[in-house]
Structure 1
Amino acid sequence: MNAGEILLEARDLALQAGGRVFCCGVSLEVAAGRCVVLLGPNGSGKTTLLHTLAGLRAPAAGSVSLAGRAPQAWPAAELARFRGLLAQQQDDHFPATVLETVLVGRHPHLGRWGWEGAEDAAVAREALAAVGLTGMAARDVLTLSGGERQRVAIATLLVQAPRLLLLDEPTNHLDLHHQIAALDLFRDLAGQGRAVVMVLHDINLAARYADSVVLFDGDGGAQAGDAAAMLDATRLSRAFDHPIGVVDDAGRSIFVAR
C-alpha cells in the first residue's frame, strides 16, 4: 500500500436530498494513511455525503473519483474490494451465527461460484478477535446487544479488507471502552496505508483521531480543512448553534458545551 496515494477525490460537490441542497462547492482529497471526520449537527448531510463518496448516489453537481476512476467505472466486485461502507444501522431479519454474518464480508473475494473456506473462516475469527468477540462465533446475531452487533459489523468490514473505509457513526451503541478501541483500530488501519472517512458526533473524538474535518453548519453549508483549523471553538459554536468552549488538558484541547 502506497502512503500518500490519493484514494478518494471529490471536486465542487453539491448534494440534494428531500428538496434540500447540501455541501455546495465542497472539494476533498483523501490520501492513504489519512483519517477524515465528517462532523456537524443532525440532518446536516453527513450520511448523504458519505453515500455519495461511496458511489451509492450521484451528486447534484461536481464529481467523485476513487483512485482516479468514477465509482460507476468500477466493476462491482472490484469496487467492493476497494471501498467498504459501515452503515449507520444493522438490520437482521433472519437468524444467523456471528461467524456466518462476518463471512458476508468475504464475498467480494470469492469467485462467482465460490464458497467460504477454512482460510476465510480464519480471517473472520481474527477479525472477531480484533473487536473483542473471541468465543462468540456460534452466537445468533439476533441475541446480541446493540454494542455487540455493532462490533460484528466492524468485523465484517475488516474481513472485506477495503483500502478505503467509509464509516457512518462507527461508535453507535458502543460504550467508552469499545469506542476508543474501535477508533484506535481504524487509526491503525490508516497507519498501514488505508484511508478512513467517518461520521462522528463527538467533537473530542474528532479532535483525537482526525487529520482533516468536513464541518457541516446545519444550513446546507460545509467546509473541509485540516483538523486543527476546523476544530475552532468559534467555528464549532456557529455550526452546532450552541456556545462551545475549549480547555487545555496537558496540551490537548478539550471542547465543552457552555
Structure 2
Amino acid sequence: MQFRETELVYFSATGTTRKIIETIGSVLPGRKNAHNLLLKPIKDDFPITADRLTVAAIPVYNGRLPDYCTQSLIHLKGNDTPAIAVVVYGNREYDDALLELKTILEKNGFFVVGAAAFVARHSIFPQVATDRPDTNDLALVRDFTRKCTEKLDSLSAPEEFVPFEVKGNFPYKEAKPVPMKPSSGEDCNLCGTCAQICPVGAISVTETETRTDEGLCISCGACINACPSESRQYRGADYEKFKGKFIERFSRRKEPELFF
C-alpha cells in the first residue's frame, strides 16, 4: 500500500514529543501535515482517507493519555487508513497509554501498522531521563519508522494486515490528575506568556499576580517551557520531598519498546 502524504498529530508541551514526531516525519516520504494539539486542538470530525498515513504521538500522564488529547483524537476518522501509534513517557512507565491510543485509532477506522513507547525527559522531574531522547533513541525512532513503512509497502490491501497486540491492560488504570501543579515565583514579571500557552486556560494574570486554577491545570509543563524569566516552576515542600524519592526510584535507564 502506498500513501501520498502523512498527517502528524501530536501534543508536546515541553518539546520532546515534537522532537520524536519530527524525526519520524523526516524518514517518511511525501508531504507532511503537522497538527500541534497544544496550539490547536481538533474540535470537529477530521476524515483521513486510506491513501494518507496518520502518525499520532502523545505524551503519557500518570500512565494514561491526557484527556485533553483524547478529546482531539476521537475526531480523527479513518477509512481503512494506516496509522502509527506512539506514546512518550518520562522513564517511569507508560502503563495502559499505548493500548489506549491504539484502541482509539482502531475504533475510528484506522489500522495500526506499528506502535512504540519512547522515553523522553520527565516533564515534572527533569533530572530523570534528562538528555532524552538522545542519539540512540532517535536512531531507533528512524529505524522503527522505516520498518513501519516497509510493512505498509508489503501490503496490497488493508485486508492483508495481521493485527498485533501491545502492552497494557483493559480496563485501563484509573485516570488520576497529577497532584503537583506549577506556579509563578516572586520574580514573575506578569508578561502573560504562560497564560497564552496554557492549553486549558488554567492561568490568569492580573496587574499584581499570576493565578493558576489547579482544578483545570493538567500539569503539562507548557507554561514552564515557555516562561521567558524561568519563574514558572514546580515548587514547594511536598514537591521537593517527592522529587528525591522519584529520582532515586526511576533514574535507571529504560529503553523504548516497539510493536509490529
Range into which the TM-score falls when normalised by the shorter chain: under 0.3
Alignment TM-score, normalising by the size of structure 2: 0.27
Query: Normalized per residue, which structure has more helix?
Result: 1
Q: Which has the higher contact order (CA 8 A, sep 6+)?
A: 1
